[in-house]
Amino acid sequence: MDQRGEYETWYRQLIALSDRASDDLLASTTAATQVADAITVSALPEKARSVLLFMCSSIILNCAFELKDSSIINQGKELAERALSGTTPDEPLHYQCQYNVANAVTNLCDIGLPEAIPGTTRATWEPQLIENRIETRTDLRAIVNTCGSRSFMRPPR
């Protein structure tokens, strides 16, 4: 199969997987991970691999957010970072990949936040909040620096 045909096959498979992902979240993350592994070793050009890896990261992250599973969120984040590495700031895909990475980081941080339970006092939830922010500050700072920098915004026209 030629590269264009291979790309179209993977693309259609990922669209179909995305459409049915909510039917079985764990199976969908497994399938998207397997597709990502195959794409990674394929002979496709780097830009084509980046598009498909971004799609895999989106499927995995959407499922992981529903599952609230930090290990799966980390998988999706890693795929988004790999896709990002194959892009440049003059491409819209670059910013879509950054969005997936930022979304993964914020969701990872949110998982550890204390729950708002009626009747709890500050003395109950504040230590959990402080612990969460200490554990996640490096990732939060990194994403703020990346997303808050000029490189994250579209270049002026």
Residue 2 in tokens: 């030629």
Q: What is the mean pLDDT of each run of 10 residues along the chain (157 residues)?
A: 90 94 93 96 95 97 94 96 95 94 89 79 82 77 63 43
Give me the residue label for tokens 């998207």.
Answer: 32
Closest CA to 84 of 59, 103, 109, 57: 57
Q: What local confidence, expressed as pLDDT, does residue 123 receive?
A: 84
Residue 100 in tokens: 């997936």
- Name the 3-class secondary structure at 2: coil
Q: What local confidence, expressed as pLDDT, does residue 157 receive?
A: 42
